């Protein structure tokens, strides 16, 4: 029997009814999925929209900070009455990714023997994460999403959804993402993984059994510093910080940009698990929608959903050329949309005044198509 999805907004969780076999051939005997919802599910379950988060995101897409969520929603301006994802019309579901640490089973979760999974946690791929999301949709009684929406790592999962399960995706919104991780993206990720694993506190991935202060927090902080440089543009960093020193630290103190990176490292280490960072980063490196499907072009040709693909013009991590592959390869996707921003990759999170109309346009097309089917009976 489907879980109760008639109630409105709130975080919740469910346990998948079946074990999950991963592409590596290992099994997760029990998978718990944390998720959050907004709005109300229609009686015919036709108005459900799936939102998929990026690497260190979570299910808290909208709303203020609160218990379990130290920060406000990461796409807060998009969800709510009268917004692009109008909760008077749409039922929005945002799950935490498999392998994460915000309510869904990951390396810090108890294994079948009661001990933390740690180094024993199976190596995951983007397809494994989507398999968990498919099982979650089944548990919620949602056979078809009106739309699947994702940016960055969430976009990887969104395009995998549309290729693997085209009949279950009514519309597709992709922003600042790619059809396959590039050599440069893998290189950036590998550098971050080395930083974490080189920390003596990593303990081979079994640091959960050590005192909390002994964990690989220095390595995780370094990984975040490396990553954050790729999330912003050179022009933005130059304009914000230049060569200035951090105020109050004197002429030999930290550079202001160095202090900025330290701040973001401290924020992440306070809320995120190093093992999850490793698991999710490895999953991102695995991403290739064309793997085993005759290549990217053949895979994208499977997509049947109306699609909008958007790029951030200053994104140096997922450059617009990669979104052009998606826009050109997905049938009926139309021209690539460009978000103008000085912020780099993070522009997809910041430039809501540009992202919201693109998403609203897609959802309007989806709603009109649904109305046409109702009127014509097709």
The single residue of 46, 59, 109, 152 carrying the catalytic annotation is 152
**At which residue do the structure tokens 């909390």 appear?**
212
Is 342 annotated as catalytic?
no
Side-chain half-sphere exposure of 219, counting CA atoms within 13 A = 26
Give CA–CA dist 237/260, Å, rounded: 10
Sequential DSSP letters for 215-248: SSHHHHHHHHHHHHHHHS-HHHHHHHHTTPBPTT
Give CA–CA dist 29/82, Å, rounded: 42
Helix (H, G, I), strand (E, B) or coil at 311: strand
Is 60 annotated as catalytic?
no
Tell me, rounded to whole angstroms, the distance of Cα 4 from its chain centroid.
25
Is 214 annotated as catalytic?
no
The single residue of 59, 233, 345, 346 carrying the catalytic annotation is 345
Give CA–CA dist 358/178, Å, rounded: 18
Give CA–CA dist 233/344, Å, rounded: 4
User: Which token pair is 301?
Assistant: 């040709």
The single residue of 315, 341, 342, 346 carrying the catalytic annotation is 315
Active site residues: 152, 315, 345
């Amino acid at each position: 029997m489907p879980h109760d999805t008639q109630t409105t907004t709130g975080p919740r969780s469910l346990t998948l009814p079946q074990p999950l076999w991963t592409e590596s051939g290992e099994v997760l005997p029990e998978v718990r999925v944390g998720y959050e919802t907004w709005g109300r599910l229609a009686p015919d379950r036709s108005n459900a929209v799936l939102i998929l988060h990026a690497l260190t995101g979570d299910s808290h897409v909208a709303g203020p900070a609160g218990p379990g969520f130290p920060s406000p929603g990461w796409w807060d301006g998009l969800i709510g009455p009268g917004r692009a994802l109008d909760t008077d019309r749409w039922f929005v579901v945002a799950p935490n990714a498999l392998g994460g640490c915000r309510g869904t089973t990951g390396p810090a979760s108890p294994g079948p023997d009661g001990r933390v999974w740690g180094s024993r946690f199976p190596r995951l791929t983007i397809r494994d994460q989507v398999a968990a999301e498919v099982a979650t949709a089944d548990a919620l009684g949602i056979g078809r999403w009106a739309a699947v929406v994702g940016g960055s790592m969430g976009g990887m999962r969104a395009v995998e959804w549309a290729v693997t399960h085209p009949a279950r995706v009514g519309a597709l919104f992709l922003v600042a993402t790619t059809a396959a991780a590039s050599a440069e993206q893998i290189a950036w990720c590998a550098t971050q993984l080395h930083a974490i694993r080189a920390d003596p506190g990593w303990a081979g991935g079994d640091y959960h059994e050590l005192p909390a202060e002994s964990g690989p927090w220095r390595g995780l902080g370094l990984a975040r510093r490396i990553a954050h440089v790729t999330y912003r543009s050179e022009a933005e960093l130059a304009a914000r910080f230049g060569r200035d020193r951090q105020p109050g630290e004197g002429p030999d103190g930290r550079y202001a940009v160095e202090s900025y990176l330290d701040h973001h490292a401290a924020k992440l280490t306070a809320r995120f698990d190093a093992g999850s960072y490793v698991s999710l980063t490895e999953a991102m490196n695995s991403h290739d929608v064309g793997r085993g499907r005759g290549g990217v072009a053949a895979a994208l040709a499977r997509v049947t959903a109306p699609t909008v693909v958007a790029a951030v013009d200053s994104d140096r991590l997922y450059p617009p050329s990669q979104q052009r592959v998606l826009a050109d390869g997905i049938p009926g996707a139309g021209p690539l949309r460009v978000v103008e921003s000085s912020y780099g990759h993070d522009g997809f999170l910041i430039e809501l005044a540009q992202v919201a109309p693109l998403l609203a346009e897609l959802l309007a097309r989806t709603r009109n198509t649904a109305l046409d089917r109702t009127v014509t009976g097709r």
